[in-house]
Amino acid sequence: MDFTLSKEHEMARSLFREFAEKEVKPLAIEVDETEEFPVETVKKMAKAGFLGIPIPKEYGGQGCDVLTYAMCVEELAKVCGTTSIIVSAHTSLCCDPILTYGTEEQKQKYLPDLASGRKLGAFGLTEPGAGTDAQGQQTKAVLDGDEWVLNGSKIFITNGKQADVYIVIAVTGTVEKNGRKSKEISAFIVEKGTPGFTFGTKEKKMGIRGSSTYELIFTDCRIPKENLLGQKGKGFGIAMHTLDGGRIGVAAQALGIGEGALDRTVAYVKERKQFGRTIAQFQNTQFQLANMATQAQAAQLLVYRAARMKDQYAKDHKTSYSVEAAQAKLYAAEMAMDVTTKAVQLHGGYGYTREYEVERMMRDAKITEIYEGTSEVQRMVISGALLK
Amino acid sequence: MKIVVCIKQVPDTKGGVKFNPDGTLDRASMMTIMNPDDKAGLEAALRLKDEYGAEVTVLTMGLPKAEEVLREAIAMGADKGVLVTDRVLGGADTWATSQTLAGALRNMEYDLIITGRQAIDGDTAQVGPQISEHLNIPVISYAQNLKVEGDSVIVERQFDDRYHVLKAKMPCLITALAELNEPRYMTPGGIFDAYKAEITVWGRADLKDVEDSNLGLKGSPTQIAKASDKVRKGSGEVVTLDPAEAASYITGKLAEKHVI
């Protein structure tokens, strides 16, 4: 078992770190305070190729592996949770399902613009009555001639108003299996600007406040028949598989937030003096830091393993990474929450102010336990595999 | 158009500086970066490539690990990398370095050679102009802007409180300032391609028309008497005075130190 990274991955990490330090970190406080989407940073990331890392070159991407992508999200999250989730939602939740389930025409039409960052992607599954229970979908798509007509709404959509291309999950009918009726769910590609597609309210969030989180509203929204993604009736599987990949992105985000908080805390405790010595000299501080670093390291190994397994899936289309992605997200998210909370505590009163960024990191960490499957859902996925 | 950019792997001063017993830098044990002026020179070449479709080759002389800086350049968009490395070339000063690079360049095709103005480890600004002398081509140093017009380059040369606009027919050599541009980032895909790229490695035997007496430590006229890390300055003295008092305080201090 080889735990060393290749030279390529090491150089990629140094690139992501340099970019994060120079371009992202200086704006992180402002992005949080103003709750403004970092448009210019996204343009710079597009130019640097960060919006198409695991997309093959033939579709305008960088042709790198999922591990490289996860490292990018991790390094961005060390300095700004908002910026990291923009990349993650775009890549894992929009580019990836098109790459995995799209027809050649759909890939040619959408991926070059998405992978180059000329366009941004988003994913709409959650509804007011359907979060963890994805079967509770109410949004409907009805085929009318050569067009699908969408009606309904999606909430909490990351990259909401800023995106150009949306993967939307909707009910296309009912199916009967073993005498029980259930909803037939399908996936669609919807473009911004389509008549009948509008935006509702912007969410006011606790953390990742610069990310654009909106309600998507579809009112007799007509999209071409060929915008069905994958087979009709396979939307639930597409959504679940997409979220398996998304969880690696969120796990990498959580990992980065935890590592970022740890880095700042290590620097702070060496400076801060109480009772005539630095607080780093107190055993309580040392033991807390030791725990935080060990948790972060364990999370990194889980995240990188899940990424590696998704890379294997890309080669053989067989390897399942669902459980590994769930474990990575569960552990990394809870690590991020725990480490950022301890980071605030070790910063004392200063940690509670917005001047010291661990306060923001603690707020940003919380969402990683909730979106793209709560920690409870991850436990369901993991235990489900154990008990089947 | 064929462009050769001479780049150097230099110590990253954030990681501390170490010396060998002979006073030369202990490069093997230090963290390294691409010299900032050279990076601006590479960016200038890549912009010409974007605009005119040039072929950009990066050339460096150094330890085998200097290959890393060539791969970084390829990950930014350079087409080829050439590493000149040989034990007999070690300890070279600017004279021996420029002789070595000129010996390599005589094997290469170029319309334009770009070097950085100076490297942050030596700060001499001599290697670029020396190469041009060895190759008998024009040099324009301290370029803060650069464009190509037909078979000539038009360069803004930084000069104290103004700049000069100079035109030179190619082939010629330009030395670039870090202020010339904002270098692009490597791309993730470029990094993986760079590690697949073959780096050409040359030794002493591959250098053309260079005497042994001009190479390495033996061929270096510069004698290092003593080298040391930068001595940290004290925090200085801060006084709060009104302007008239401050002026007489400063002049008093300068007189005390026999500056005035």
Q: How confident is the model at residue B122 (pLDDT cuts 50, 70, 90)?
A: confident
Instruction: Please give the helix or strand (H or E) that residue A204 lies within, else none.
Output: none
Query: What CA–CA distance (Å, rounded) separates B159 from B178?
Result: 15
**Average pLDDT score over residue span A271-280:** 96
Which two three-digit tokens encode residue B204? Answer: 């002493």
Are the CB atoms for A259 and A336 separated by under 8 Å? Answer: no
Query: What CA–CA distance (Å, rounded) separates A368 from A85?
Result: 10
Which whole-number Å values give the CA distances from B157 to A293, B153, B209, B224, in the listed order?
51, 12, 31, 31
Cβ neighbourhood burial of B150 (10 Å; 0-12, 13-18, 19+): exposed
DSSP state of A369: T
Other CB atoms within a 10 A radius of the CB of residue A42 amount to: 20
Range of the domain at B132: 2-214
DSSP letters, A157-190, are ETTTTT-SEEEEEEEEEEEEETTEEEEEEEEEEE
Cβ neighbourhood burial of A70 (10 Å; 0-12, 13-18, 19+): buried
Q: How confident is the model at residue A271 (pLDDT cuts 50, 70, 90)?
A: very high
Are the CB atoms for B144 and B22 separated by under 8 Å? Answer: no
Q: What are phi and psi of B141, to 5 degrees?
A: -95, 170
Q: How confident is the model at residue B15 (pLDDT cuts 50, 70, 90)?
A: low
**Would the pLDDT of A259 be above 70?**
yes
A231, A235, A240, A245: CA torsion to nearest 10: 60
Q: In which region does residue A30 sit, left (phi positive, over 0), alpha (psi from -120 to 50) or beta (all else)?
A: alpha
Tell me which chain B residues have a C-beta less than 8 angstroms from the C-beta of A61: 189
Residue A82's closest CA among A328, A338, A363? A363
Query: What CA–CA distance (Å, rounded) separates A372 from B44?
Result: 44
Percent of chain B, pLDDT > 90?
Answer: 68
Nearest CB among A15, A47, A61 relative to B191 is that of A15
**Displacement of CA A384 from its chain's centroid (Å):** 23
Q: How confident is the model at residue A129 (pLDDT cuts 50, 70, 90)?
A: confident
Give the tens place of pLDDT for each residue, A162-189: 999 999 999 999 998 888 888 999 999 9
Instruction: Please give the helix or strand (H or E) that residue A321 lies within, else none.
Output: none
DSSP state of B82: E
pLDDT the model gives residue B50: 95
Give the tens place of pLDDT for each residue, B148-166: 999 999 999 998 889 999 9
Q: Tell me the shortest Cα–Cα distance from B69 to chain A, in angstroms.
A: 11
Classified as helix, coil or strand, B113 is: strand
**Would the pLDDT of A316 be above 70?**
yes
A10 touching B (Cβ < 8 Å) = no
Residue A72's closest CA among A46, A97, A98, A96? A46
Query: What CA–CA distance (Å, rounded) separates A89 from A242?
Result: 10
pLDDT the model gives residue B138: 96
Query: What CA–CA distance (Å, rounded) separates A93 from A156?
Result: 14
**Displacement of CA B126 from its chain's centroid (Å):** 9
- Residues A334, A359, A369, A372: which is the catalytic one? A372
Evaluated on CA atoms A83, A88, A94, A98, the torsion sign reads positive
Domain CATH code at residue B196 = 3.40.50.620
Classified as helix, coil or strand, A29 is: helix
**Would the pLDDT of B118 be above 90?**
no
Helix residue spans in B12-66 (DSSP H)? 36-52
Higher pLDDT, A212 or B236: A212
Q: What proportions of chain B, in percent to the nearest 5, are helix, strand and coil?
A: 35, 25, 40
Give the tens place of pLDDT for each residue, A58-67: 999 999 999 9
Are the CB atoms for A179 and A124 separated by under 8 Å? Answer: no
Task: Pick the residue of B39, B191, B199 with the most A CBs within 10 A to test the interface with A by mutation.
Answer: B191
Give the tens place of pLDDT for each residue, A39-78: 999 999 999 999 999 999 999 999 999 999 999 999 999 9
pLDDT the model gives residue B231: 66
Classified as helix, coil or strand, A130 is: strand
Give the tens place of pLDDT for each residue, B164-186: 999 999 999 999 998 889 999 99
Question: Is residue B240 assigned to a domain?
Answer: no
Q: Do B188 and A57 touch (CB under 8 A)?
A: no
Question: Is residue B122 assigned to a domain?
Answer: yes
**Would the pLDDT of B230 be above 70?**
no
The neighbouring-strand residues paired with A278 are: A273
The neighbouring-strand residues paired with B5 are: B58, B114
pLDDT the model gives residue B31: 82
Classified as helix, coil or strand, B171 is: coil
pLDDT the model gives residue B232: 66
Q: Identify the closest residue of chain B to A68 by CA–CA distance.
A: B188
**Would the pLDDT of B121 be above 90?**
no
What's the one-letter identity of residue A377?
Answer: V
Residues 35-64 of A with CB under 8 A from B: 47-50, 53, 57, 61-64
What's the one-letter identity of residue A378?
Answer: Q
Question: Is residue B231 assigned to a domain?
Answer: no
Q: Identify the closest residue of chain A to B189 by CA–CA distance.
A: A62
DSSP state of A80: -
Q: What are B's interface residues with A at a Cβ cutoff of 8 A?
A: 68, 71-72, 75, 184-192, 194-195
**Would the pLDDT of B147 be above 80?**
yes
Q: In which region does residue B139 sit, left (phi positive, over 0), alpha (psi from -120 to 50) or beta (all else)?
A: beta
The neighbouring-strand residues paired with A189 are: A167
Q: Tell me the shortest Cα–Cα distance from B195 to chain A, in angstroms.
A: 7
pLDDT the model gives residue A132: 73
Question: Is residue B243 assigned to a domain?
Answer: no
Residue B222's closest CA among B56, B98, B53? B98
Tell me which chain B residues have a C-beta less than 8 angstroms from the C-beta of A63: 189, 192
Other CB atoms within a 10 A radius of the CB of residue B5 amount to: 27
Q: Do A11 and B72 touch (CB under 8 A)?
A: yes
- How many independent structural domains does chain B possess? 1
Are the CB atoms for B56 and B78 separated by under 8 Å? Answer: yes
Q: How confident is the model at residue A278 (pLDDT cuts 50, 70, 90)?
A: very high
**Would the pLDDT of A131 be above 80?**
no
Task: For residue A372, indicate whether it is catalytic.
Answer: yes
Query: What CA–CA distance (Å, rounded) separates A303 from A69?
Result: 11
HEC string of A39-74? HHHHHHHHHCCCCCCCCCHHHCCCCCCHHHHHHHHH
**Average pLDDT score over residue span B247-258:** 91
Are the CB atoms for B13 and B120 separated by under 8 Å? Answer: yes
Average pLDDT, chain B: 91
A125, A130, A134, A137: CA torsion to nearest 10: -80
Which whole-number Å values give the CA distances from B100 to A247, B5, B39, B93, B149, in the listed order?
53, 15, 21, 11, 30
- Across A90-94, B12-16, B141-145, B182-186, least confident range: B12-16
Average pLDDT, chain A: 96
Q: Do B187 and A48 touch (CB under 8 A)?
A: yes
Question: Is residue B118 assigned to a domain?
Answer: yes
Residue A373's closest CA among A233, A231, A254, A217? A254
Residues 59-88 of A with CB under 8 A from B: 61-64, 68, 72
Query: What CA–CA distance (Å, rounded) separates A262 from A365?
Result: 13
Question: Is residue B197 assigned to a domain?
Answer: yes
Question: Is residue B84 assigned to a domain?
Answer: yes
Q: How confident is the model at residue B112 (pLDDT cuts 50, 70, 90)?
A: very high
Which two three-digit tokens encode residue A76? Answer: 């961005």
Q: Do B189 and A63 touch (CB under 8 A)?
A: yes
Question: Is residue B86 assigned to a domain?
Answer: yes
* Core vs surface per residue A145-170: b (16+ CB within 10 A) or e: eebbbbbbbbbbbbbbbbbbbbbbbb
DSSP letters, B207-251, are --S--GGGSTTTT---------PPPPPP--------HHHHHHHHH
